[in-house]
Amino acid sequence: MAITGTPCAMNGHTLQERPSASWRVALPHTAAAVPVARALVRTALAELEHTADCDTAELLTAELVANAVEHTAGHGPIELVVELLPTSCHVEVHDPDPAPPGGLTRPGLTAPDPWQEHGRGLLLIRALSSSCGHRPTSSGKAVWFRLAAAPPRLRPA
């Protein structure tokens, strides 16, 4: 696992503005990447006091990373990209498989089999994010979600 980027500069933000920052982290193509990705997202949101729902961000990040590990071939690293913007938290997972994730943006997904332990990840991402999707990259694809930030709270002076 290697951090290939650092937080972006947070130039002169005021109490009304949220800082912007982004991270790009290479993760192993194993199940061990899931708790690491969750911890990275939680830490990023906490350190910048971002108001996106941290529990939801962690859950959806875990789903994206687990899907990349389980459903893509190869042993090369996958990549986690986290962007904290003033109005949202944007998370992408890059993997080497160019095939789009089945059903992430297709209308009318069917409910998963209640007796199975899998098949709910994309439904969770669609239901809990403010937007989601996928895009091709030069080395495969990126699957992403965005969570809206809560409005800033006014604090007493």
CB atoms within 10 A of CB 96: 18
Which of 30-44, 64-78, 112-126 shows the lowest mean pLDDT across its residues? 112-126
> SS in 3 state form for the chain?
CEECCCCCCCCCCCCCCCCCEEEEEEECCCCCHHHHHHHHHHHHHHHCCCCCCHHHHHHHHHHHHHHHHHHCCCCCCEEEEEEEECCEEEEEEEECCCCCCCCCCCCCCCCCCCCCCCCCHHHHHHHHCCEEEEEEECCEEEEEEEEECCCCCCCCC
Closest CA relative to residue 54, chosen from 122, 147, 153, 131 = 147
- Summarised one tens digit per residue, pLDDT across range 43-63 is 999 888 888 899 999 999 999
pTM of the model as a whole: 0.79
Instruction: Give the chain's domains with CATH numbers.
Output: 22-104+118-148 (3.30.565.10)
Residue 3, beta-bridge partner list = 25
- Summarised one tens digit per residue, pLDDT across range 125-153 is 988 999 999 999 999 999 999 999 887 66
Q: Are 145 and 91 in contact (CB under 8 A)?
A: yes
Residue 64 confidence (pLDDT): 95
Asked if residue 122 has pLDDT above 70, the reply is: yes
Residue 10 confidence (pLDDT): 36
Residue 130 confidence (pLDDT): 94
Residue 48 confidence (pLDDT): 83
Spatial neighbors of 5 by CB under 8 A, at least 6 apart, are 22, 23, 24, 25
